[in-house]
């Protein structure tokens, strides 16, 4: 099947493989030099029962020395307590630096297994086997790993590149609709920041996408991965260009906190995107039609475009300003110069942010 390659500055780079089953997994792992090594699968309590056995079976040609670590699913477990349990199990299984970790699951598994891999014995190799739309198009690529600390999201982490990202797109069939829609929040973002033609394609193919038609999903996920790949290759440690991926996230993260994490991440990104587009429109970089088309396109993908009437706009503004992605006290806001062309703007005013948020309360 198809694959794309991600260059990295410090090591060999890695492939992203787009498959429809797990058959090619053992060959790819053997090519990386892990024949007969120990493999530890880290997964969560929803994903492992669904796909754990299929992965273990698929690994047989390369090794049968396979262990698994399964933790309770959910963002609330993406913390150092769970990492400690992972370390304990890795020690118990006598995993050493020549062995391999497989992160099998969504972004929570990928971030946490990645962080455990980055730190256990000062770093051991890991591969990502993402199973949510969000992890296939976003979190499995780029080497950002980490966990939440107290109420702070992704506060503790490390850059640690995977040796391979292996997608079995058939796993997306068991994802519930709300999780799938949440992933679409990031996919739509990719079109808006980098590729107007892709954005149009998403609008024109919403039926096939929502039906999770495999050829359409495969095309979409590959294009999103290319966009994320191009951005992270240029700026692996988020000094500039990579910030464009935060489009919709500045206000989005604030909404996420304001709503007490009751909305999915991609839902908040959709709302943050609408606010950021409105600011871009008021600065005359988007036309009226473009602004409303972007807002309305979230609806068929099952994403929200409004907040409750009694939303406290000032509180969201405050949370926006406390986001950790600041640049010497100024918010590094991402706006659109045009559909498909995002840029970093440090001069967005409080009034503009408030007006952007108000668009969500109608």
Establish if 307 lies at the interface with ligand NAD (CB under 6 A): no
Element (DSSP H or E) covering residue 154: strand 152-159
Establish if 117 lies at the interface with ligand NAD (CB under 6 A): no
Judged by CB under 6 A, how many residues of this single chain contact ligand NAD? Answer: 28
In 10 A of CB 21, how many CB atoms?
Answer: 13
Binding mask 42-71 for ligand NAD (x = CB under 6 A): --x-xx--x---------------------
User: Which of 63/135 has CB closer to ligand NAD?
Assistant: 135
- Residue 102 DSSP one-character state: E
Exposure pattern of 279-315 as b/e (b: 16+ CB <10 Å)?
A: bbbeeebbeeebbebbbebbeebbbbbebeeebebee
Establish if 267 lies at the interface with ligand NAD (CB under 6 A): no
Shortest CB 135 distance to ligand NAD, Å:
4
CA distance 70 to 104: 10
Establish if 304 lies at the interface with ligand NAD (CB under 6 A): no
Binding residues among 97-116 for ligand NAD as defined by CB under 6 A: 105-109, 111
Half-sphere exposure of 78 (CA within 13 A, CB side): 24
User: Which of 154/205 has CB closer to ligand NAD?
Assistant: 154
SS3 call for 160: coil
Considering only 18, 59, 142, 164, the residue that binds ligand NAD (CB under 6 A) is 142
Shortest CB 75 distance to ligand NAD, Å:
5
What is the 3-state secondary structure of 269-333? HHHHHHHHHHHHHHCCCCCHHHHHHHHHHCCCCCCCCCCCCCCCHHHHHHHHHCCCCEECCEECE
Q: Is 47 in contact with 198 (CB distance < 8 Å)?
A: no
Shortest CB 120 distance to ligand NAD, Å:
18
Shortest CB 186 distance to ligand NAD, Å:
7
Spatial CA neighbour of 56 closest among 79, 227, 246, 64: 64
Q: Is 203 in contact with 154 (CB distance < 8 Å)?
A: no
User: Which of 47/231 has CB closer to ligand NAD?
Assistant: 47
The stretch near ligand NAD (CB under 6 A) out of 170-178, 272-280, 304-312, 325-333 is 170-178
User: Which of 34/120 has CB closer to ligand NAD?
Assistant: 120
Establish if 73 lies at the interface with ligand NAD (CB under 6 A): yes
In 10 A of CB 73, how many CB atoms?
Answer: 17
User: Which of 265/295 has CB closer to ligand NAD?
Assistant: 265
Binding residues among 148-167 for ligand NAD as defined by CB under 6 A: 154
Establish if 319 lies at the interface with ligand NAD (CB under 6 A): no
Q: Which two tokens stand for residue 25?
A: 């997994």
Establish if 254 lies at the interface with ligand NAD (CB under 6 A): no
Binding mask 3-42 for ligand NAD (x = CB under 6 A): ----------------------------------------
328: left (phi over 0), alpha (psi -120 to 50) or beta: left
CA distance 296 to 127: 37
Q: Beta 152-159 vs 144-149: how paired, if at all?
A: antiparallel
Establish if 189 lies at the interface with ligand NAD (CB under 6 A): no
The stretch near ligand NAD (CB under 6 A) out of 94-102, 120-128, 131-139, 250-258 is 131-139
Q: Which two tokens stand for residue 128?
A: 């990502």
Establish if 280 lies at the interface with ligand NAD (CB under 6 A): no
In 10 A of CB 62, how many CB atoms?
Answer: 22
Establish if 135 lies at the interface with ligand NAD (CB under 6 A): yes
Question: What are the residues binding ligand NAD (CB under 6 A)?
Answer: 44, 46-47, 50, 73, 75, 78, 105-109, 111, 131-132, 134-135, 138-139, 142, 144, 154, 171, 174-175, 179, 182, 265
């Amino acid at each position: 099947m198809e694959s794309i390659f991600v260059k990295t500055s410090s090591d060999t780079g890695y492939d992203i493989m787009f498959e429809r089953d797990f058959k090619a997994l053992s060959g790819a792992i053997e090519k990386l030099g892990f024949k007969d090594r120990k493999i530890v699968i880290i997964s969560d309590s929803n994903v492992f029962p669904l796909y754990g056995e299929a992965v273990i079976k698929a690994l047989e040609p390369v090794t049968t020395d396979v262990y698994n670590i399964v933790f309770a699913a959910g963002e609330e477990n993406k913390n150092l307590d769970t990492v400690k349990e992972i370390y304990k199990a890795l020690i118990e299984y006598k995993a050493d630096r020549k062995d391999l970790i497989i992160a099998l699951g969504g972004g929570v598994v990928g971030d946490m297994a990645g962080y455990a891999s980055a730190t256990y014995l000062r770093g051991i190799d890991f591969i990502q086997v993402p199973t949510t739309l969000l992890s296939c198009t976003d979190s499995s690529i780029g080497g950002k790993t980490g966990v939440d600390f107290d109420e702070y999201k992704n506060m503790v982490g490390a850059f640690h590149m995977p040796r391979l990202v292996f997608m079995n797109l058939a796993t997306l069939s068991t994802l519930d609709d709300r999780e799938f829609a949440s992933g679409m929040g990031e996919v739509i973002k990719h079109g808006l920041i980098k590729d107007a033609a892709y954005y149009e394609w998403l609008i024109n193919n919403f039926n096939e996408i929502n039906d999770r038609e495999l050829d359409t999903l495969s095309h979409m996920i590959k294009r999103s991965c290319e966009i994320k790949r191009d951005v992270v290759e240029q700026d692996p440690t988020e000094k500039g260009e990579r910030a464009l991926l935060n489009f919709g996230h500045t206000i989005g993260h604030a909404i996420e906190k304001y709503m007490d994490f009751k909305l999915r991440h991609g839902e908040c990104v959709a709302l943050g995107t609408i606010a950021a587009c409105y600011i871009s429109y008021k600065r005359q970089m988007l036309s009226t039609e473009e602004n409303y088309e972007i807002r309305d396109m979230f609806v068929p993908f099952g994403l929200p475009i409004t907040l409750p009437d009694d939303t406290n706009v000032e509180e969201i503004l405050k949370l926006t300003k406390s986001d950790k992605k600041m640049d010497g006290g100024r918010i590094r806001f991402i706006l659109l110069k045009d559909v498909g062309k995002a840029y970093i703007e440090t001069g967005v005013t409080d009034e503009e942010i408030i007006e952007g948020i108000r668009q969500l309360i109608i």
